[in-house]
Every structure is written in structure tokens, then in C-alpha cells.
Amino acid sequence: MTVFALVGGMAQFVDGTLGMGFGVTSATLLTVLGYGAVAASAGTHAAKVGTCFASGVSHWREGNVDWRVLVAVGLPGAFGAFIGAVVLTNIALDRARLWMAVILFILGISIIARFGFGKSLIPAVRLRTRNLWPIGLFGGFVDATGGGGWGPVATPSLMTVTRHAPHRIVGTVSAAEFLVAVAASMGFLVGAGDSGVPWLAVLGLIIGGVIVAPFAARFARKAPTAPLGVAVGGMVLVANTAVMAAVLGIPGLVAASLAIVEIAITTAIVIRVVRRKPVPT
């Protein structure tokens, strides 16, 4: 259980700081340990019920949550997660995951360009809060079917179509994820019972995540806007490179090498941004 608690803590720090990472990290670990797709995703969402609640409360206390946006994306996200969980127990969605990963990868590059260089690769499209529901719907569906994906979909999308500060988007996405996790867990119970969920691993992930959640929320609140935005973009690239590699059957060593290159480039841009004056966001 200690190993799962450490993984849960590290994953929650990344998730609470950048708005993504817990689901992808936890589902990957469970898959590596030999659990099937349904069990890995069900276990991850069971753990996220606890960690997301702690994370949401922590972000709320830090003033990182926009409640109007939370409702606009969280409720559709919960619906999408429930449907996605039921679907995962019956069919495979590799082709859809591949196209989504490509789109999000492009968004990740756009976010880095925006916060790192003050450039916009994608035409500016600003949506009113009431029109954000498709982001929640698709984010919840992708999250349930992939074991993780709420953050990688919702965070970069909201950064692209809104002008909220990165820490507000991260906090809102993290808080809304509680609704998504609860709905996905209910969907798995309806679709496939407990699906062989590794409950001891789930408990370890929850313990680690709950302990770290307040520190991650505080860090997100204090982090400078531009470096945090670049870091989010880099995380989007790494997460979706992993998805594309898995779907296309790219060898693990190659995928890991690509991720290392992406992390190195992102780190270099973050350092560059920190050393110069802030760019417009």
C-alpha cells in the first residue's frame, strides 16, 4: 500500500498543480500491474472520488474555483462519464481516443505558444460560460473510457476558449472532477459490478492524494501565471503522446524518449519565461 500512497501523492501534486495527471498516472500503474482496462479505470475513478473531494475543497479554500464554470462543465462531465463508463464495459474506442489525443496535442502546443511566447496558433474563440458544456461532456466521456482524461481535455480547452487565469482553471477543473469521478464510478457499477477493482491499491492512492491535495492547491495559487500555463501545455503534450503511443503500438522506449524530450523542451521554456518579463495572457 505504501507504493500506491506514494504514487497517489505524486500524481495528486501534479494534478492539483496543473489540472491533470492523477487519472493517467494511476490508470497506467494499474495497467502495468496487470489489471484490465475496465478494472484499471474503475479503480482509478474510485480513488478519485476521495482525492478529488479533497482537492476540490483545497482549491476552494485557496480561491481557485469559479463556481459558474464548475457547474457549466461539471454536470455535463458527470453525464459523459457515466455513459463512458457503461460504454467501456462493452466496446473499444481506440480510434476515437487517437483523434482526441491529436486534437489535444495541438491545443497543448497552442497553450505553450500563448503563455511562453505571447503568440496564438489557434484563432481566438471566446465562449460564454453557458456554452462550455460540450467541453465537460466530452471530457467526462474520455475520462471514463480512458481511465483518465478529464484534466487533459478540460484544462487546455478552457485555457483556449476563456481568459481565466491558469490557477482558476486548474482549481475549477479539479473541483469539477469530483462530480465526474462519482458518475463514472456509478457507471462502472451499473455496467460491470466492481469489475475486479483492486481496493487495496485504491485505498493507497486515496491516502497519498488526500495528504498532498492542500499543498498542490496552494502551489497552484502562488505559481506565476505564464510559467504555470507553459507547464500545463507541456503536461498536455506528454499525456497525449502516451495515449497516441498506446493506441498506435509504439514501443515503450520510443514513447518514453519522446516524453523526455517534451519535458526537457517545456522546462527550458519555463526557465526562459521566468527569466524575462511576463508576456500578455
Quick: pLDDT tens for 112-139. 888 888 876 656 567 888 899 999 998 8
What global pTM score does this model have? 0.76
218 CB-near residues (< 8 Å, 6+ apart): 58, 62
**CA dihedral defined by 41, 42, 47, 51, rounded to 10 degrees?**
70
Quick: pLDDT tens for 4-59. 888 888 888 888 888 877 877 777 677 667 777 677 777 888 888 999 999 999 99
For 132-141, 173-182, 202-211, 218-227, which range has the lowest pLDDT when averaged over its residues?
218-227
Distances (CA, A) of 218 to 2, 232, 276: 25, 16, 24
Domain ranges of the chain: 2-275
pLDDT over 50 at 202, yes or no: yes
Is the distance from CB of 101 to CB of 240 less than 8 angstroms? Answer: yes
**How far is it, in rounded angstroms, from Cα 53 to Cα 206?**
10
Quick: pLDDT tens for 48-83. 899 999 999 999 999 999 999 999 999 999 999 998
Residue by residue, DSSP assigns 140-188 as: HHHHHHHS--HHHHHHHHHHHH----HHHHHHHHHHHHHHHHHHHHHHH
pLDDT over 70 at 194, yes or no: no
